[in-house]
Amino acid sequence: MTFPQRRPRRLRTTPAMRRLVREVRPQPAQLVLPLFVREGLTGSRPIESLPGVSQHGLDSLPAVIDEAATAGIGGVMLFAIPDVRDATGTQACARDGILNLAIDVAAKAADGRLVVMADLCLDEFTDHGHCGVLADDGTVDNDATLEIYGQMALAQARAGAHVLGLSGMMDGQVSAVRAVLDDEGFTDTSLLAYSAKYASAAYGPFRDAVESQLVGDRKTYQMDPANRREGLVEASLDETEGADFLMVKPALPYLDVLADVAAASAVPVAAYHVSGEYSQIEATAERGWIERRAAHLEAVTSMVRAGADIVMTYAAVEAAQWLKENS
């Protein structure tokens, strides 16, 4: 047989050769670990639908932060579960609300070793489970919600959050929050906009983790999974409004959108490997059908390959160690 002179397999012959020519090299510092803090909880409580992930009390949170910092990951994202919820998510803005207390504990434990991010959304704090306040007709009132987001942002900034994760998908949320923060002197507090956040089937384990009270669905404000161009529209608007980072969520079903946003963005872009994506790997690996470590690393690598500067994953601490071993 006659072969062309070019033989691509030459560059795959050994582990050393493959490592030498590798195009994408994810780093631990790119990873962010989501964490759940439960009001009134002492120690930690496993989340059944998120294997290896737990809710934490304020007492156990410092050790988790220390472990994350020691692993060399870039940051943590805090979510909270309050004891009391109401129609307007009052506890989200309270100085002694569980999320704001957790931010303070986490920031002190981190001591500058990693970035402390906080989820800025009302779904965990409302008794109806939506990301904003409801109008009389039961729809989410966009502009009334922005007023509360501003109050929530101030509470989180005062508690010591470095980055606020605007995950509610309200129109104008970035500019509204940025204006409030700047007026109060929090010009160094960064904003991570969940710009292309889709109404996905992959959020189920997360809703278990935060004990969601959701009634109905979020399709009037989260994006239609069929829409690609709209993701770039949302990201462009958020960047124009002053977002310091952009997010695509979920990750793997939307790598095309992630690539679009990363190619157009002048600011760092994050991808969220969401709960359902993570649990699919865990459940399949538990049955022996795939190799767990390889699957998680392949997922992280694919997100970085598509253009993500930051990857949020529940496997962040373990993945950091695996990446070090593979380097």
Where in the sequence numbering do the catalytic residues fall?
197, 249
Q: Report in angstroms the alpha-carbon separations of 203 from 135, 176, 214.
A: 25, 27, 12
DSSP state of 223: B
Q: Could you tell me where the DSSP H helices lie in the chain?
A: 15-20, 61-71, 98-110, 142-159, 173-183, 204-209, 229-241, 255-264, 275-286, 292-306, 316-326
Which of 50-69 are b and which e, b meaning 16 or more Cβ less than 10 Å from the residue's Cβ?
bbebbbbbbebbeebbeebb
Computed over its alpha carbons, how large is the radius of gyration of the chain? Answer: 20
DSSP state of 308: -
